[in-house]
Amino acid sequence: MATIEEILELERLERDIFRGIIAETTLPRTFGGQVAGQALVSAVRTVDPEFLVHSLHGYFLRPGNPKEPTVFLVDRVRDGRSFATRRVTGIQDGQAIFTMSASFHVQDEGIEHQDEMPPVPDPETLGLATDSDDGETAWLAREWADWDLRLVPQADISKRPGAAAQQQVWFRSREALPDDPVFHVCALAYMSDMTLLGSSRIPHKDTPMQAASLDHAMWFLRPFRADEWLLYDQTSPSAGFGRALTQGRIFDRRGNMVAAVVQEGLTRHLRTQ
């Protein structure tokens, strides 16, 4: 399997055109986090270093072919004094499979507050995903073997009053990653698609369904490292009409809220014919 460094090391074909590698996978379609992470790398490479990405909004338009590379076209929408905006389109076989807008901001001074990190068991006290009796969890661990995943048992989650579905996952890269903070942001964009839609399945464990990410939005709030433990605190506040809304807050080990994620996914009943 390709490392996260290999996945995020894009080839520059032209000033604003980039190409990602073909990453070995058991998935029938290109992993959405890979497309989002590579698209963000493409956008980052067209922005001056003093501008840091603070948000992205993406749509998965077509299933990607994991046996083909994706080419990314960057549109330099805006370059202002405080903000810059880029639009990125991922292309395979002449068709758009993904589109994303990313916003960049120079660092300013302002008000500060955040939600408290929820009470949660330490990751070292939790079982390895590779040892899980749950087939889907064990598959996740095999597909993304470079990442240490620790799912918090449902019995150990402090339930929010009225919450329909909750899930918590500790994760980190098993290997040390480059010190470049931008690399860690792009790595988190890659990882953020991995387990989030699964939170919608918590109340429906025995229901066969077809699942796929439809859109993905992220806000990067504070510095972090993806090779240190991060808690992905996930909820699915609503599901209906074949779609599920999911939300995630990402905290570092010290309780800093470093990112927020919202995603809608396809969750329709599995068709038998």
In sequence order, what are the residues at sequence separation of 6 or more whose Cβ sits closer than 8 angstroms to the Cβ of residue 145?
1, 174
Q: How many CA atoms lie within 13 A of 52 on its CB side?
A: 15
CA dist 99 and 101 (Å) reads 7
Max CA separation in the chain (angstroms): 57
CB atoms near residue 120 (< 10 Å): 16
Query: What is the pLDDT at residue 135?
Result: 80
Which of 193, 227, 233, 252 is labelled catalytic? 193
Query: What is the pLDDT at residue 238?
Result: 97
Asked whether the beta carbons of 221 and 185 are under 8 A apart, the reply is: no
Query: What is the pLDDT at residue 91?
Result: 98
pTM of the model: 0.95
Low-confidence ranges of the chain (pLDDT < 50): none
32 alpha-carbon distance from chain centroid: 8
DSSP 144-189: TTTEEEEEPPGGGS-PPTT-S-EEEEEEEESS---S-HHHHHHHHH
Asked whether the beta carbons of 98 and 69 are under 8 A apart, the reply is: no
E strands within the chain? 11-14, 17-19, 52-60, 71-79, 83-92, 95-105, 147-151, 166-173, 209-220, 230-240, 243-252, 257-269
User: 43: buried, middle or exposed (CB in 10 Å: 19+, 13-18, 0-12)?
Assistant: buried
CA dist 7 and 21 (Å) reads 6
Alpha helices in the chain (DSSP H): 4-7, 32-44, 135-143, 181-191
In sequence order, what are the residues at sequence separation of 6 or more whose Cβ sits closer than 8 angstroms to the Cβ of residue 12?
18, 45
Residue 82: active-site member: no
Separation of first and last alpha carbons in the chain: 33
Which of 167, 192, 236, 263 is labelled catalytic? 263
Q: Which domains are delineated in the chain?
A: 1-107 (3.10.129.10), 122-273 (3.10.129.10)
Query: What is the pLDDT at residue 199?
Result: 95
Give the tens place of pLDDT for each residue, 122-156.
Answer: 999 998 887 887 788 888 888 889 999 999 999 99
Query: What is the pLDDT at residue 273?
Result: 62
Would you mind telling me the total number of residues written for the chain in this entry?
273
Residue 193: active-site member: yes
Query: What is the pLDDT at residue 134?
Result: 79
The two three-digit tokens of residue 191, written as one number: 């990882």
Which of 92, 167, 200, 213 is labelled catalytic? 213
